[in-house]
Amino acid sequence: MDLARVDAILEGRGSEPFDVMEVLQDIQEEFRYLPEDAMRQTAEILQVPLIEVFRLANFYKAFSLKPRGRHLITVCTGTACHVQGARKLGDQVLGQLKVGPGETTQDGAFTVETVNCVGACALAPVVIIDGEYYDHMTPKKLRKLISRIRKVDAQEEETRTNA
């Protein structure tokens, strides 16, 4: 792990009490999870007990202690999405990728998460893949989307190998 990237995030932080949260969010953004060494570094530089840093990392949903896959599939399970069939979307993902919420596929391609509401309730059910919102989702549309991402990934991989 590149600690210089963590140091860059920590630069100039520490004057406000909420800086520790903001730093952890930036680390999460940079590495897509909170590596142990990054948390240690944060604790040391901001002079916050390591156990407090770990407690924050555990408490807030924004943080992941395990590396995330290359693609992040977030199924919204808000009330509007729930009554419009979000459960089926969870089933589709679980069936197709064989991983449930909070898990990553063995090949490191997909991490699946659920979110309690993304505030796009009028378009329910909603799925977010790599930051892109997909409205009025159906299991069929989701299946095709996942297959397409897999296909694009495979093509890119092939181009890389050939090059």
Partner 1 sequence: MPRLGNLDDLAALCDALGSKREQSTRTVTMCAGTACRACGCLPVAEAVEAEIEKQGLCGEVLFRTTGCHGFCEQGPLAIIEPGNIFYAKLKVDDVEELVSQTLKENQVVERLLYTDPVSGEKVRTEDAIPFYASQTRVLLGDNTKLSPENIDEYLSLGGYTALAKTLTSTSPGDVVSTVQASGLRGRGGGGYSTGRKWEQCRQAPGEEHYVICNADEGDPGAYMDRCLLEGNPHAVIEGMAIGAYAIGARQGFVYVRKEYPLAVRHVEGAIEQAHEYGLLGDNILGTDFSFDVKVVHGGGAFVCGESTALMASLEGKVGEPRAKDVHTVEHGYLNQPTCLNNVETWANVPKIITNGAEWFAQKGTQNSKGTKIFALTGQVKNTGLVEVEMGASLREVIFDIGGGPQNGRAIKAVQTGGPSGGCLPESEFDLAVDFDELYEAGSMMGSGGMVVMDDSACMVDVAKYFLTFLQDESCGKCLTCRIGISRMLDIVTDVCEGCGTPEQLDLLEDLAWTVSVGSLCALGKTAANPVLSTLKYFREEYEAHIEQESCPAGVCPALIHYTIDEDTCNNCGLCAQNCPYEAISGDKESGYRINGEICTRCGICVESCNKKAIVKS
Residues of this chain that bind partner 1 (CB under 8 A): 16-22, 24-25, 48, 52, 55-56, 59-63, 77-84, 87-88, 91-96, 115-124, 126, 131, 133-135, 138-140, 143
Between residues 60 and 67, which has the closer beta carbon with respect to partner 1?
60
Q: Measured from the CB of residue 17, what is the shortest distance to partner 1 in angstroms?
A: 4
Between residues 95 and 161, which has the closer beta carbon with respect to partner 1?
95
Q: Measured from the CB of residue 163, what is the shortest distance to partner 1 in angstroms?
A: 31
Q: Measured from the CB of residue 44, what is the shortest distance to partner 1 in angstroms?
A: 16
One DSSP character per residue, the chain reads --HHHHHHHHTT--SSTTHHHHHHHHHHHHHSS--HHHHHHHHHHHT--HHHHHHHHHH-TT--SS---SEEEEEE--HHHHHTTHHHHHHHHHHHHS--TT-B-TTS-EEEEEES--S-GGG-S-EEETTEEE-S--HHHHHHHHHHHHHHHHHHHHHHHH-
